[in-house]
Amino acid sequence: MTTYVRVDENIYGRMGLKFVLTPDGQSLQLLPGQLADPGSDVVSHVGEARFHVRISTPVATDADVPDALGLALRRVADRLFGILPDGTEDPDASGFVEGVLGPAVHDGGLVLTLDTESFGFNPPMVETMTRIFVEELEPLAIPVELTAASWATDEVPPAWRSSAERLQG
């Protein structure tokens, strides 16, 4: 049971673009962060996995992020490279997750975006990725909320820099 990391129970459902058929037959496209209404049929779920981490105060600059949190998110990013399509975490795996962008300050929190060369993601992968976030962040005793990023652009903000890195210039 986690006490400091609150995970959106619909994290998978909020990720990526969704093409949905409503119960009345209407066809909709839902953006990242949006959730299909109950009774709707998600016909297609595409895009890349994007995670948003929020702390109790809005983050506007690198200095707003405790170093311990930013460094833990870098460890998360390193571990995400080892996620396979079946949800297995294999530190020796290579090639499936080709890149992890971030952590980067965006929309009041920190965002991590995976590049899977258009393979996308699935529930077992997101479940394992979420577990990794919890394992790395829970010991910090910093209350955070983890959800899908609602950001729908390919423009990536600059990566977060620790206080020591900012002092170096």
Quote the pLDDT of residue 151. Answer: 67
Close Cβ partners of 73 (under 8 Å, ≥ 6 residues apart): 53, 102, 103, 110, 112, 136, 137, 160
The length of the chain in residues reads: 169
- Where do the domains of the chain lie, and which CATH numbers do they carry? 5-150 (3.30.70)
Tens of pLDDT, residue by residue over 39-96, are 999 998 888 899 999 999 999 999 999 999 999 999 999 999 999 889 999 988 776 8
Answer with the residue of higher pLDDT: 156 or 3. 3
Return the closest-CA partner of residue 144 out of 2, 12, 32.
2
Q: How many CA atoms lie within 13 A of 22 on its CB side?
A: 9
pLDDT > 60? residue 152:
no
Q: Where does the pLDDT of residue 138 fall: very low under 50, low under 70, confident under 90, or very high at 90 and above?
A: very high
Answer with the residue of higher pLDDT: 21 or 119. 21
pLDDT > 90? residue 164:
yes
Three-state secondary structure call for residue 46: strand
Tens of pLDDT, residue by residue over 82-133, are 998 899 999 887 768 888 998 999 989 999 998 887 678 899 999 999 999 9
How would you classify residue 95: left for phi > 0, otherwise alpha for psi between -120 and 50, otherwise beta? left
- Model pTM score: 0.91
